Amino acid sequence: MSRVARRVSDKRVLKLIRAYLQAGVMENGLVSPSEEGTPQGGPLSPLLSNLLLDDLDRELERRGHRFCRYADDCNIYVRTERAGQRVMESVTRFLTKRLRLKVNASKSAVGRPKDRKFLGFRFTWGKSAKRAIAPKALHRFKERVRELTGRSRGRSVADVVKHLTSYLNGWGGYFGFCQTPSVLEELDGWIRRRLRMLLWQQWQTWRNRKRMLVFLGVPERRAAEAAACSRGPWAMATHPALQEAMGLKFFDHLGLLQLRSMMRT
């Protein structure tokens, strides 16, 4: 509270914050007293953590370090691994002794920027480092897209694209800050393949598949050959006949958002 009082002079606000900190926590229907800290996920936690960790920012600036912090996630950039170990020890000591905080040892490490993630991003390795999407973020993205385009959902492809575009709009608005357009282009192609696979599964019969391919502009003979192909749906999604029938214009007409178009510099 003394740290809060350095920034806030209104006694009514200070009284409200103190009351919030002392209100206790409800667990399994029972209220237990709050002895220290703030409830995880509480609206006051980000504000108070930034007030406290502002001291860390000032300490790192005083030492001349290059760093980036968002809430309780912080990366400090140094030239060598030896310097990283030294800074890691001194910063941990500052956090535990001066600020009386606990450092999560399992999430803290010294490593190359290409191997560490920060807010879903990482840096590529080379003379000109670029912002790239972290592998875990890409994995979560693909898992969500698989869920949205799953066969068992039993919806029309237009409805799938509608929900998918809503997700892509939010995801691309954040990760469009990356500097690796090839990754976004690869994801766009992968998404279109998922949708072609979904349509191929929905068409089901040879007759219906042939009819739909012809309707989408594929010559009848090629459509019949593709419809009779015994390859699985995922493999068929790359078949030339399906790619011709369901190319960029087809998905643009459905309103599918392209991640590559959302990339920002």
- Segment 2-10 mean pLDDT: 88
- Segment 169-179 mean pLDDT: 93
Per-residue pLDDT at 10? 93
Q: pTM above the 0.85 mark?
A: no
Three-state secondary structure along the chain?
CHHHHHHCCCHHHHHHHHHHHCCCEEECCEEECCCCCCCCCCCCHHHHHHHHHHHHHHHHHHHCCEEEEECCEEEEECCCHHHHHHHHHHHHHHHHHHCCCCCCCCCCCCCCHHHCCECCEEECCCCCCCEEECHHHHHHHHHHHHHHCCHHHCCCHHHHHHHHHHHHHHHHHHHCCCCCHHHHHHHHHHHHHHHHHHHHHHHCCHHHHHHHHHHCCCCHHHHHHHHCCCCCHHHHCCCHHHHHHCCHHHHHHHCCCCHHHHCCC
pLDDT(199) > 90:
yes
pLDDT(127) > 70:
yes
Query: To the nearest whole percent, how much of the chain has pLDDT over 90?
Result: 66
